Chain A
Amino acid sequence: MTTVTLTINGNQVSREVEPRLLLVHYIREELNLTGTHIGCDTTSCGACTILVDGKAIKSCTMFAVQAAGRNLETIEGVAKDSLHPLQEGFWEKHGLQCGYCTPGMIMTAKAFLAENPDPTEDEIRWAISGNLCRCTGYTNIVESIRYAAQKLRQPEEKVAS
């Protein structure tokens, strides 16, 4: 067993785990943060996407021990006093149907918009190409991310609908 201490959504946590424990299982089963989903279990779908030191990664393809000392963010850490513009965007633009891919989509989009605050539609589609939506609701997911991008750039102005 190994002690894995890390920061997640601003809180420091520590658990004794086996080295073979995957990061997604550490998050869901040790920390009970079940907003991070497991979809395909084969590094394909992106439902388990979280941020590690600001970078979007698939938490099913990293061991918890690798994340020791790192700064993690999951969907539970996205809303502060009110919904994050991305969450608001998914609400306003109907960016989710079953909702299973949504946490991963939002985490991917959050890292992407931090690097590219004013993306084109093609750039958004490129950014989410590692996240699968089985409902195939991509059009509205792209719209939701565009909404968030605009809102993040101009927080005071009403976003055109």
Chain B
Amino acid sequence: MIPAKFEYFAPSTLKDALSLLSEHGSSAKILAGGQSLIPAMRFRLAQPEILIDINRIEGLEYIREDNGHLAIGALTREAALDKSELVRQKYPLLADTCRVIADPLVRNMATLGGNLAHSDPANDHPATVLSYGAKIVAVGPNGERTIEIDDFFTGLFENSLAPNEILKEIQIPTPPSGSGGAYLKLERKVGDYAVVAVAVQLTMDGDVCKTARIGLTNVAAVPMRAKAAEALLIGKVLDEATIGEAGKAAAAECDPSGDLRGPVEYKRDMVRVIVKRAIHKAMQRARGEI
């Protein structure tokens, strides 16, 4: 399978990439890791006339904590996130996620920025960044702006980046003490999209849940939070009954499609089960038990 013809640019600065993007507008696509875009081009689901490869731009691959958040450069590879001690120690929800995306070979190329800019509801990172309440830093011809993650995903493969903007950085708030998170993915095999996957990020005060955010993967046309389930947890003692109710609420509020990974009824029930398990794991981590 051979992609359609395109013109290729590999600018060495962000400024040059932005002028190319401004010049060519929506006929251009940004190439980051390419692990979603290149397969889409080979199937001719995507046929950009212009490809702007940002891999030659220095300074877009970094993982560092500053000003109360974890700042991740858009070109940071999944493998680099997986190997980061900082991520493993303090951001276990993110660490869980970057270990189950595609496979280790794909993760050597795939980037966090590309994953989010692609805005595929079947991708794993959207649920995770929704649960963290992350921020997206976009850069355009008039400078930078910050987008709250709740305002970022707007449709199937759609987001609030303007056609002349590039996703530059992802900011994940450093969780306060007593926090824990987990990402659990039900998949048929390594490399497949999730049947269902769930991201949970909690802050506990003893047995009482202070804050809770839950993101769901591949069970709606747009990456979504299970807000009804979150509301059932906040301010409550997280006993088995409460966690069970949250699972049921998430199953009711998601909107999966039946496909080769299973019918709607099965996916909803798996949301119920995986939400419960992810809450348990996040809670154990919040208490320092695991």
Chain A interface residues (CB < 8 Å from chain B): 2, 18-20, 22, 41-44, 46, 49, 55-58, 61-63, 65-66, 108, 126-127, 129-131
| B2 partner residues in chain A, CB cutoff 8 A | 20, 22
Interchain CB contact under 8 A, A130 and B190: yes
6 closest residue pairs by CB, A with B: A130-B103, A19-B8, A130-B105, A129-B190, A55-B108, A20-B3
- Nearest residue (CB) in B for A55 is B108
Tell me if B35 is interfacial: C-beta within 8 Å of chain A. yes
Tell me if B62 is interfacial: C-beta within 8 Å of chain A. no
| B103 partner residues in chain A, CB cutoff 8 A | 46, 129-130
Contact A61:B38 (CB < 8 A) given known A19-B8, A56-B108: yes
**Residue interface bits B19-59, CB-to-A below 8 A is 1, else 0:** 00000000000010011001101100000000101010000
A-B interface contact total, Cβ < 8 Å: 75
| A108 partner residues in chain B, CB cutoff 8 A | 104-105
Least CB distance, B88 to chain A, in whole angstroms:
15
- Nearest residue (CB) in B for A49 is B105
Contact A63:B38 (CB < 8 A) given known A19-B7, A41-B1: yes
| A129 partner residues in chain B, CB cutoff 8 A | 103-104, 190-191
Residue from A18, A44, A62, A127 within 8 A of B104 (CB atoms) = A127
Least CB distance, A97 to chain B, in whole angstroms:
20
Interchain CB contact under 8 A, A61 and B109: yes
Tell me if B10 is interfacial: C-beta within 8 Å of chain A. yes
Q: How far is the CA of A42 from the CA of B35 in the complex (A)?
A: 10
Q: How far is the CA of A65 from the CA of B38 in the complex (A)?
A: 13
| B106 partner residues in chain A, CB cutoff 8 A | 43, 58, 61, 130
Interchain CB contact under 8 A, B42 and A126: no
Residue of A58, A61, A127, A129 with highest tally of chain B CB at under 10 A: A61
Q: How far is the CA of A131 from the CA of B189 in the complex (A)?
A: 12
Contact A66:B105 (CB < 8 A) given known A19-B8, A61-B38, A130-B191: no
Residue of A2, A43, A56, A62 with highest tally of chain B CB at under 10 A: A43
Q: How far is the CA of A126 from the CA of B55 in the complex (A)?
A: 27
Residue of A20, A49, A65 with highest tally of chain B CB at under 10 A: A20
| B41 partner residues in chain A, CB cutoff 8 A | 20
| B10 partner residues in chain A, CB cutoff 8 A | 65-66
Interchain CB contact under 8 A, A130 and B5: no
| A130 partner residues in chain B, CB cutoff 8 A | 102-106, 190-191
Interchain CB contact under 8 A, A57 and B109: yes
Interchain CB contact under 8 A, B105 and A131: yes
- Nearest residue (CB) in B for A112 is B104
| B109 partner residues in chain A, CB cutoff 8 A | 57-58, 61-62
- Nearest residue (CB) in B for A61 is B38
Tell me if B6 is interfacial: C-beta within 8 Å of chain A. yes
Interchain CB contact under 8 A, A66 and B35: no
Tell me if B208 is interfacial: C-beta within 8 Å of chain A. no
Q: How far is the CA of A55 from the CA of B102 in the complex (A)?
A: 16
- Nearest residue (CB) in B for A44 is B191
| B53 partner residues in chain A, CB cutoff 8 A | 65-66
Interchain CB contact under 8 A, B39 and A43: yes
Q: How far is the CA of A18 from the CA of B6 in the complex (A)?
A: 9
Residue of A18, A58, A108 with highest tally of chain B CB at under 10 A: A58
Least CB distance, A131 to chain B, in whole angstroms:
7
